[in-house]
């Protein structure tokens, strides 16, 4: 497959995303190919670990390839999207619980679906160019691919902040928030990969201290401003605070789907309160994405951002006041249609 290169080199199963011009956005076929490789290598003694990387310097993986989702959804065909998300979430769960080490090298943009394949393995490496984010609320989705698990486990109220604003994290920020483990300068990555291929031993990974990012200093403001029980309370806090941080956060939230932001906060809170697990995170995420085309803002978000590019989405609940019933409608159990992991 031209979009992905899967092979065994030495003691490592190697997966390289090869769509640099498309920022290595993940297609449905790429998702299935990664899962098939992981299934195959799980029982091969010759494969001691898995290494996932990507070509180009701009992105590890900028997200899922959403063109097909939009094309089918606008025709009233929601089955394709539901199948894609279900299969993608099954892969995310498999990577999270994989019995062998998975080493990911996350240069440039790692966003959305890229988090799903890059941030659930055992050894997640960032470098100076890394920018990690969950920007789904900006296109009418919620953070998914298991991302809400990381958000719910993040310090304080970082989950609500990062999930609703889509703020991009530098290397230190990504480590602090739980999206990455280790900082290694990118000019050292080829030598590190060679060592891992030769030895099959993750003890070869030796991290350094990354340049300081802003999140550690902002955590007190995050905890104070995002402590509200719902989107309305968070918006009120931001609107009545004159700090530059609050103004920036409010500007970012004002661009996203209010329904998505409200559901993001609800999902993160539910997971945190219950003790977050991957199964629970993917179940809640799928409840939303299953309904995202028919009931949510997803198709409108894609239209405004990708198709017409007018950057002027016509969101539901544009005032920011999202009724509890609207959140419940998006997140109530799917019964027989629930995601199967």
Q: What is the CATH number of the domain that holds 123?
A: 3.90.226.10
Nearest alpha-carbon partner for 156 in 184, 178, 181: 178
Enclosing domain of residue 193: 1-341
pLDDT at 2 over 90: no
- Tell me the pairing of strands 59-61 and 109-111: parallel
Q: Number of folded domains in the chain? A: 1
Instruction: Give the SS3 label for residue 124.
Output: strand
Which residues are part of the catalytic machinery? 64, 113, 136, 144
**Alpha carbons 88 and 116: distance in angstroms, whole number:** 8
pLDDT category of residue 66 using cuts at 50, 70 and 90: confident
Token reading at 181: 């483990």
324-331 helix and 258-274 helix, angle to the nearest 10 degrees = 70
Token reading at 72: 């089918």
Mean pLDDT of 43-64: 97
For residue range 213-247, list pLDDT tens digits in order: 999 999 999 999 999 999 999 999 999 999 999 99
Burial status of residue 161 (CB atoms within 10 A of its CB: 0-12, 13-18, 19 or more)? buried
**Alpha carbons 92 and 97: distance in angstroms, whole number:** 9
pLDDT of residue 49: 98
pLDDT of residue 230: 96
For residue range 6-37, list pLDDT tens digits in order: 999 999 999 999 999 999 999 999 999 999 99
Token reading at 318: 């544009």
The answer to whether the beta carbons of residues 184 and 192 sit under 8 Å apart is: yes
For residue range 148-161, list pLDDT tens digits in order: 999 999 999 999 99
Mean pLDDT of 319-340: 97
320: Cβ contacts below 8 Å, ≥ 6 apart: 231, 232, 235, 258
**Alpha carbons 45 and 24: distance in angstroms, whole number:** 30
Q: pTM above the 0.85 mark?
A: yes
**3-class DSSP string for 240-274:** CCCCHHHHHHHHHHCCCCHHHHHHHHHHHHHHHHH
23: Cβ contacts below 8 Å, ≥ 6 apart: 56, 58, 59, 61, 62, 108, 109
Looking at every residue in the chain, the average pLDDT score rounds to 97
- Tell me the pairing of strands 12-17 and 59-61: unpaired
* Angle CA 76–338–114, to nearest 5: 75
């Amino acid at each position: 497959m031209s979009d992905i290169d899967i092979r065994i080199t030495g003691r490592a199963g190697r997966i390289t995303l090869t769509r640099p011009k498309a920022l290595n956005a993940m297609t449905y076929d790429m998702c299935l190919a990664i899962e098939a490789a992981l299934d195959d290598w799980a029982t091969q003694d010759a494969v001691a670990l898995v290494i996932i990387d990507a070509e180009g310097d701009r992105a590890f993986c900028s997200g899922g390839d959403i063109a097909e989702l939009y094309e089918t959804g606008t025709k009233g065909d929601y089955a394709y999207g539901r199948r894609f998300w279900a299969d993608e979430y099954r892969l995310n769960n498999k990577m999270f619980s994989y019995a062998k080490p998975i080493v990911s090298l996350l240069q440039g943009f790692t966003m959305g679906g890229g988090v799903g394949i890059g941030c659930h393995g055992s050894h997640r490496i960032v470098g100076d160019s890394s920018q990690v984010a969950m920007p789904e609320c900006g296109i009418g989705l919620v953070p998914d691919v298991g991302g809400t698990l990381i958000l719910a486990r993040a310090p304080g109220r970082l989950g609500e902040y990062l999930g609703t604003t889509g703020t991009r994290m530098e290397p230190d920020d990504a480590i602090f928030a739980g999206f990455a483990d280790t900082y290694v300068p990118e000019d050292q990555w080829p030598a590190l990969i060679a060592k891992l291929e030769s030895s099959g031993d993750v003890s070869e990974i030796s991290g350094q201290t990354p340049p300081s990012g802003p999140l550690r200093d902002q955590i007190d403001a995050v905890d104070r401003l995002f402590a509200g029980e719902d989107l309305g309370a968070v918006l009120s806090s931001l609107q009545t605070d004159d700090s530059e941080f609050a103004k920036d956060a409010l500007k970012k939230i004002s661009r996203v789907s209010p329904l998505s932001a409200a559901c993001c906060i609800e999902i993160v809170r539910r997971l945190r309160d219950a003790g977050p697990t991957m199964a629970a995170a993917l179940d809640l995420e799928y409840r939303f994405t299953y309904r995202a085309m028919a009931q949510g803002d997803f198709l409108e978000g894609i239209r405004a951002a990708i198709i017409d590019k007018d950057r002027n989405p016509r969101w539901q609940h544009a005032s920011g006041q999202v009724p509890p019933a609207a959140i419940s409608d998006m997140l109530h159990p799917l019964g027989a249609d629930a995601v199967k992991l």
